[in-house]
Amino acid sequence: MKKKIRMIVFAVCLISLIVSGVRLALIYHTYKSGNDKYKEIEQEVVKITVPEESSLEIAKATDKPNKVKEEKKPVKIEVDFNKLQNINKDIIGWICIPDSVINYPILKTDNNDLYLHKAYDLSDSIFGSIFMECSNSDDFSDFHTILYGHNMKNGSMFAALKKYQDETFLKEHDKIYIVTKDKTRIYKVFSYHVAKAGGEIYSTQFETEDAYKKFQDLLLKSSYKDLNTELKADDTIITLSTCTSGEDNRFVVHAKLIKS
């Protein structure tokens, strides 16, 4: 009897082990397929040129006439939007944070649900897509534009946003590039923090200049670190938003337009 019980226990453990192995294999395959899909389109339509050297600008400060200020040349990003538009008309742009995993097409439609579980080519995907808030203008002309992306366990999509809490990562990745068919916009990060989903920081419409100023102040004071940034009344801002611990929490990164 004891031998029979041991055999049953062994069989149950073996079956559990096999089932767990199959599940892990399926998860691995799902993540690999999702990564491969985005890597493939990146290689097909995007060309990134990184300057070999930084430009040097002589500071004009009278007290330090020989002071040299180093300014990095912007990265050049070329995107084949004709090919992207042939794949899906909802692709309105491309987001790139150089030297990071964030290098993806931007989607937009009339709701915030479709691209939660659809890739850029409308295939089903746990990765979803990077997509724009449906109430925003797709030309990035709004004072505040929001982009959403999943926080994937393998570090893809917008999972890298959490790295902005590391001072070295922040310093080396403070520029966000948004490429559209007509131009390239460069934004500089000025705030990052955990926010309540659907809270005030997700506002996209402002009736008065004073309302927008209060909104800017909220973003600045919410930041985990003071990045010594001044915001002006005509500054346009983007927010990158992803899930984090807690069902009602989101990790967000705010950046202002510095070049277009």
pLDDT tens digits, one per residue of 89-120: 999 999 999 999 999 999 999 999 999 999 99
Angle 195-196-200 (CA atoms, 0-180°, nearest 5)? 85
Residue 117 CB partners (closer than 8 Å, separation 6+): 124, 125, 126, 128
Q: Which residue, 137, 94, 89, is CA-closest to 114?
A: 89
Q: Is the pLDDT of residue 173 over 70?
A: yes
Q: Which residue, 88, 114, 117, 93, is CA-closest to 103?
A: 93
Q: For residue 25, what pLDDT is reported?
A: 42
Domains of the chain with bracketed CATH: 89-259 (2.40.260.10)
Q: Is the pLDDT of residue 226 over 90?
A: yes
Confidence of residue 5 (pLDDT cuts 50, 70, 90): low
Q: What is the mean pLDDT of residues 51-80?
A: 62
pLDDT: which is higher, 24 or 174: 174
Contact 256, 190 (CB under 8 A): yes
The H or E element spanning position 145 is: strand 144-148
The H or E element spanning position 253 is: strand 249-259
pLDDT: which is higher, 56 or 198: 198
The pTM (predicted TM-score) of the whole model is 0.83
Q: Is the pLDDT of residue 20 over 80?
A: no
Three-state DSSP state, 161? helix
Contact 111, 97 (CB under 8 A): no
Torsional class of 122: left (φ above 0), alpha (ψ -120 to 50), beta (otherwise): left
Q: Is the pLDDT of residue 42 over 70?
A: yes
Side-chain half-sphere CA neighbours of 58 within 13 A: 5
* Phi, psi torsion values for 40, nearest 5 degrees: -65, -45
Q: Is the pLDDT of residue 22 over 60?
A: no
Torsional class of 246: left (φ above 0), alpha (ψ -120 to 50), beta (otherwise): left
